[in-house]
Structure 1
Amino acid sequence: MKTKLFTTLLACFIITSVFSQSNLNDYKYIIVPKKFDFLKQENQYRLNALTKFLFEKNGFTTVVEGEQYPDDLAGNVCMGLTSDVEKGKGMFKTKLSIVLKNCQGGVIYKSEVGESRIKEYDKSYAEALRNAFKSFETVDYKYTPNGNNSVIASNKVETKKEVSQELQKLKEEIKSLKEEKKEAVKVAENKVSEIVEVPAEATKTVQENVIEGASNILYAQEMVNGFQLVDSSPKVVYRIKKTNLNNVFLVENKNAIIYKKGDDWVLEFYSNNSLIQETLNIKF
């Protein structure tokens, strides 16, 4: 009876290991966060750096969450698993386990609990983490592209197609705007000539003012954590970042903010200890 029970448990363990290995082999990257939830600071006790090191030691390719991703991962974040370290309860032991989740939040793999009785936090966490990583020693990981790769490639092509369509749309809008500017200049010239004959220099001034007014429009293009504001050239004039305040943005590489005041958008900054405010015409 005991032999049969042992054989059954062994078979279950082997099946689980093979299934976990197969699942892990479907993913190319491990994304390591900068901070674990049970700690107060980023990379506290160098635990995040140690996690990255131990994954790479076991044959995985890692990236740090929030830093620049490889092109294929940036195009499809589902090619990677997000890693986490969970702390278990215990009065006299430090207990840690490693959890790997897919892009939908589903748990793909969870290690055995690693333990340590050392009292110093830095040494205790490091030992418990290394013990938890022993679970990966039995996992012969090797990334194997599967049938989903065609879907990934299709998604990347579709994304490029969408970007191309957006650029074409922007070009058409710019072309239309230039035509409107020409028409506005023509109308301005006609109206001025109908009222009174004016010197050529005055007509030129009217033209420049009309064109300048039209070109002041900035178009907001969405990007990560904010927008980039482009003019009709198109040229990027500002890059702005979202804040916790509604309709208030930080201007990248400039000690300034942009916020909404009534129906207007205002750029505000200090110059020579003087507060400067400029009204912007932004189209979101």
Structure 2
Amino acid sequence: MKTKFFSILITCFVVSSVFSQSSLNNYKYIIVPNKFDFLKEKDQYQLNSLTQFLFNKYGFEAVMEGSNYPEDLSRNRCLALESDVLKDSGMFKTKLKVELKDCNGKLVFTSDVGESRDKEFKTAYNLALRDAFKSFEVVNYKYEPNEKITALAFPETEAKKEVTQEIKQLKQEIEQLKKDKETKVVAVEKTAVKTPVVKPEQIAFKQEKPKKETVIEGFSNVLYAQEIQNGFQLVDSSPKVVYRIKNTNLKDVFLVENESAIIYQKDNNWVIEYYIGSVLKQEELNIKF
């Protein structure tokens, strides 16, 4: 009877391990939070960094919450499991366990409870976490794409499509204006007449006083970016809203609201390009995000 009971128990354990392995293999990434609920500070005792390290050690690709996510993960958060470390109550022991949930909050995996009797918090948490991660030794994780999960990539919204189309159109117009300008310059050079030589004594020199730049005391030319829906508003130090800019799919490129203009970053400087009639203008802006 006992032999039969142990056989059933071992079979259940093997089936559970195989199921967990199969489920985990469907996910490409693990997202590690930068703070656990039972601690007061981000990455306190370097426990979050250690969690990321241990996931990578056991073959997973772990990314820290809030970091620059890979492109496919940015499009489809369901490619990742969200990890958490929970603290169990214990009188003389520090007990930790690791949980993994999918993008819908469904529990996919729970580790065994790791324990430590050390009295110093940092050492105790470190040892207990490493003990809990022993559960991943038998998982033998290897990513195997699942069509149901990879098909969940967020489609591009109509608004984003419109913004992308506007940017393409603006770029085409800018390129065309540049070509037209180059053509005009060549034509002027070909038809230019020879400038008559003027003797120095015929020139009446007039010394002009340099123009003074108007400066309002207590104000600066810095524009401060304040986040609003779908973008930012740029205000000066008065404060006055100078521009409202919209996000685009391109990095560091914004559309200026109600203007035929874009703002983008070039050589670590912010530049605004706009039209006055058919003439393209370009100015540098001092923006603080």
TM-score grouping bracket, smaller chain normalisation: 0.5 to 0.7
Deviation for aligned residue 1:159 = 1.8
2:232 alignment partner in structure 1: none
Deviation for aligned residue 1:57 = 0.8
Retained in 1: the 8 A contact 2:95–2:115? Answer: yes
Retained in 2: the 8 A contact 1:82–1:101? Answer: yes
1:85 alignment partner in structure 2: 85
Deviations 1:78-124 (A, max 9, x none): 10011110000011000000001111111110000000111000110
Deviates more, 1:71-80 or 1:141-150: 141-150
Give the whole-Å Cα distance in 2 for the aligned partners of 1:164 and 1:229.
13
1:276 alignment partner in structure 2: none
2:37 alignment partner in structure 1: 37
SS at match of 1:96: strand
With CA pairs under 8 Å and 6+ residues apart, which has the higher RCO, 1 or 2?
A: 2
Retained in 1: the 8 A contact 2:79–2:150? Answer: no
SS at match of 2:288: coil
Retained in 2: the 8 A contact 1:217–1:232? Answer: no
Larger Rg: 2
What is the correspondence of 1:69-218 to structure 2 with a 5 Å cutoff?
69-148=69-148, 151-152=151-152, 155=153, 158-159=155-156, 163-168=160-165, 218=244
Deviations 1:19-43 (A, max 9, x none): 1000000000011111111000111
Deviation for aligned residue 1:217 = 6.8
Deviation for aligned residue 1:149 = 5.6
* TM score, norm. by length of structure 2: 0.60
Give the whole-Å Cα distance in 1 for the aligned partners of 2:16 and 2:43.
32
Retained in 2: the 8 A contact 1:20–1:109? Answer: yes
| Pair 148,161 (structure 1): closer, same or farther in 2 beyond 3 Å | farther
Retained in 1: the 8 A contact 2:164–2:248? Answer: no
Matched, 1:22 2:22: yes
Read off the aligned partner of 2:78 and give its amino acid letter: C
The sequence identity of aligned pairs, in percent, is 50
Read off the aligned partner of 2:124 and give its amino acid letter: S
Give the whole-Å Cα distance in 2 for the aligned partners of 1:55 and 1:48.
11
Retained in 2: the 8 A contact 1:218–1:232? Answer: no
Deviations 1:237-274 (A, max 9, x none): 99xxxxxxxxxxxxx9538xxxxxxxxxxxxxxxxxxx
Read off the aligned partner of 1:101 and give its amino acid letter: K
| Pair 145,51 (structure 1): closer, same or farther in 2 beyond 3 Å | same
Deviation for aligned residue 1:55 = 0.7
Give the whole-Å Cα distance in 2 for the aligned partners of 1:136 and 1:107.
16
| Pair 149,98 (structure 1): closer, same or farther in 2 beyond 3 Å | closer
1:7 alignment partner in structure 2: 7
SS at match of 1:234: strand
SS at match of 1:63: strand
* C-alpha RMSD over aligned residues: 3.1
1:232 alignment partner in structure 2: 260
| Pair 71,221 (structure 1): closer, same or farther in 2 beyond 3 Å | closer
Read off the aligned partner of 2:244 and give its amino acid letter: L
* TM score, norm. by length of structure 1: 0.61
Retained in 1: the 8 A contact 2:82–2:102? Answer: yes
Query: For structure 2, which runs of at least 5 residues remain unmatched after alignment?
Result: 171-241, 271-285
Retained in 1: the 8 A contact 2:78–2:149? Answer: no
Give the whole-Å Cα distance in 1 for the aligned partners of 2:51 and 2:32.
8
Give the whole-Å Cα distance in 1 for the aligned partners of 2:159 and 2:51.
37
Deviation for aligned residue 1:234 = 2.6
Count of residue pairs the alignment pairs up: 196
Read off the aligned partner of 1:254 and give its amino acid letter: K
Retained in 1: the 8 A contact 2:34–2:43? Answer: yes
What is the correspondence of 1:48-63 to structure 2 with a 5 Å cutoff?
48-63=48-63
Query: For structure 1, which runs of at least 5 residues remain unmatched after alignment?
Result: 174-215, 239-251, 256-284
Read off the aligned partner of 2:146 and give its amino acid letter: N
More helix by share: 1
